[in-house]
Chains A and B, each alone.
Chain A
Amino acid sequence: MNIELINISKTFQEELVLKDVSGSFDIHSIAVIGPSGGGKSTLLRIIGGLLAPDSGTLKIDGESIEFSKKYLPSYRRNIGFVFQSRGLFEHLTAMENMLLPLVHAFAINKTQAMEISSKLFERFGLTDEKNKYPFQLSGGQQQRIAIARAVAVKPKLLLLDEPTSALDPEYTAEVLNMLGELQNDGLKTIIVTHEMGFAKNACEQVVFLANKQIIESGDSSQIFKHPQTEELQFFLNKILEWKV
């Protein structure tokens, strides 16, 4: 799968957040890294069809995405999105959270939807949680269910916006393990993350976004060893400063 960004710009209340972001990526797994406020979430939401850019073009496999009310719902259906937190419907149990997109966005019948959901719950060790409401679940469980819900519909691409940033450290591993497993199955992912270990070892490519633009991108094996730009060197030094 190829994603092409052509001069994508976005302004929020006079504040320029993305400035002519361009690039072409053959996706298997991409990690997006960069300082807070650099526009990572904004870019991810544009790619996911949740936010329209002010100008520029987004192409998936050579096809331009039309940011119109009519076209977007069906586009979004084929792209999974996992948020940093509070990504489950608060009024539904884990199982109902799984069923809702299957039944109401994909019109799969309930029996079949239940089957799909149960299988995923079982696979990821969530069976005991299926009748619990989000407020009864740990942050790690919530995120894993959110990921399971996103992959249940077999999306073409899964986007994750800092899926572990709001978690206690002991839950981070269980979420990342699940993701790694899904990536190995061939799921295409773009993940915004501060987990450099995951970016380096589990993702093929890394994109460094800062100062409203993509400053540097490349293979994860290379980019951490030999960062080319001063900005990335500075950023990596800063976040790896306290690493054990």
Chain B
Amino acid sequence: MKETGSKEPSLANKAASAIFVAVVLIGFLWFSVSSVGLELDFTTLYQYRQRLWEGFLMTVIISVASLMVSLIIGSLTAIGQNSRILVISYFCRAYVQIIRGTPLLVQIYFFYYIIGMAWGVNNRYIAGVLILSIFEGAYISEIIRGGLASIDRQQYEVAKSIGLTRTKTLQLVTVPILMARILPALAGQFASIIKDSSLLSVIAVIELTQTVQEISADNFRMFENYLFVGVLYFILTVSVSILSGLLERRYNHEYRVNQYQ
């Protein structure tokens, strides 16, 4: 850790500030809700707990699967963008540009109803994961490409000079340096995947958002339903950022120290 020069704020100061922020946020919410004359009653959600749980699980499964597939797509296209074979390089660049330049909703319709039909991908869950992975893969591709470009060339020269093979260089130099650099951005992207998966509801993938839409058609409690589901998404994304904080530490210290034990 570098010295910042400024003192760490006191615990009392931290607690008071946190409480203040919480009070303002909750007060704002409460005031807004009560001034439109809304009476929130979350008890009606209880009877849907089984469906909500299943939707929640489906969102987690789709997000994790999409993260893995998009990491593969992102890594391959990141390397491909710098390929000396122009066809590969152009293909990867076009992919990144087109995907990042169009809305996910458009891609979902296009891939599902046109490409999916044409190529016989009928399972909407598999299609959903693929579409989401193709979408997020373009962003991950840019994260990885940027990370690779930020590595000092001299590190490779050093690896070469001690006689490391290419595979060993990748494993012992490139990947650890890259991971330490891009982990925060990757975690942010994973949080986006979780939120973006809600759009798969338009092709009737029964994840969290689709579940809550169905419940709303049943109990007409739109506000409670969506507020509740918002909290569930928030729990997921906050977990991701906590997890990434832990992983970051691992990549910066323990990981390195443990490597030789």
Contact string against B for A residues 145-174, beta-carbon threshold 8 Å, 1 for contact and 0 otherwise: 000011001000000000000000000000
Contact string against A for B residues 237-261, beta-carbon threshold 8 Å, 1 for contact and 0 otherwise: 0000000000000000000110111
**A64 to B237 Cα, complex, angstroms:** 60
**A89 to B180 Cα, complex, angstroms:** 13
Contact string against A for B residues 164-177, beta-carbon threshold 8 Å, 1 for contact and 0 otherwise: 11001000110011
Which of the candidate stretches B122-130, B155-163, B204-212 sits at the interface with the other chain?
Answer: B155-163
A73 pairs with B165, CB closer than 8 A: yes
Does B41 have its Cβ within 8 Å of any Cβ on chain A? no
**A81 to B155 Cα, complex, angstroms:** 13
Chain A nearest CB: distance from B109 CB in Å? 44
Most-contacted residue by chain B among A80, A101, A114, A150 (CB, 10 A): A101
Chain A nearest CB: distance from B14 CB in Å? 29
Chain A residues whose CB sits within 8 angstroms of the CB of B260 once the complex forms: 96, 99, 103, 110, 114
Given contacts A91-B180, A99-B260, contact A83 B158 (CB under 8 A): yes
Q: In residues 83-107 of chain A, which contact B (Cβ within 8 Å)?
A: 83, 86-93, 96, 99-101, 103-105
Interface size range of chain B in the complex: 20 to 34
Chain A residues whose CB sits within 8 angstroms of the CB of B47 once the complex forms: none
**A77 to B177 Cα, complex, angstroms:** 23
Most-contacted residue by chain A among B155, B161, B168, B256 (CB, 10 A): B161
Does B152 have its Cβ within 8 Å of any Cβ on chain A? yes
**A110 to B161 Cα, complex, angstroms:** 21
B155 pairs with A96, CB closer than 8 A: no
Which residue of chain B has its CB nearest to the CB of A136?
B2
A77 pairs with B180, CB closer than 8 A: no
Chain B residues whose CB sits within 8 angstroms of the CB of A114 once the complex forms: 260
Q: Return 28 A-B CB contacts under 8 Å, by A number.
A: A50-B157, A76-B160, A77-B162, A81-B161, A83-B158, A86-B154, A86-B155, A87-B154, A88-B158, A89-B158, A90-B152, A90-B177, A91-B176, A91-B180, A92-B256, A93-B256, A96-B257, A96-B260, A101-B163, A101-B164, A104-B164, A105-B163, A105-B164, A105-B168, A110-B261, A149-B162, A150-B162, A153-B162
Question: Which residue numbers of B lie inside 8 Å of A, CB to CB?
Answer: 152, 154-155, 157-165, 168, 172-173, 176-177, 180, 256-257, 259-261
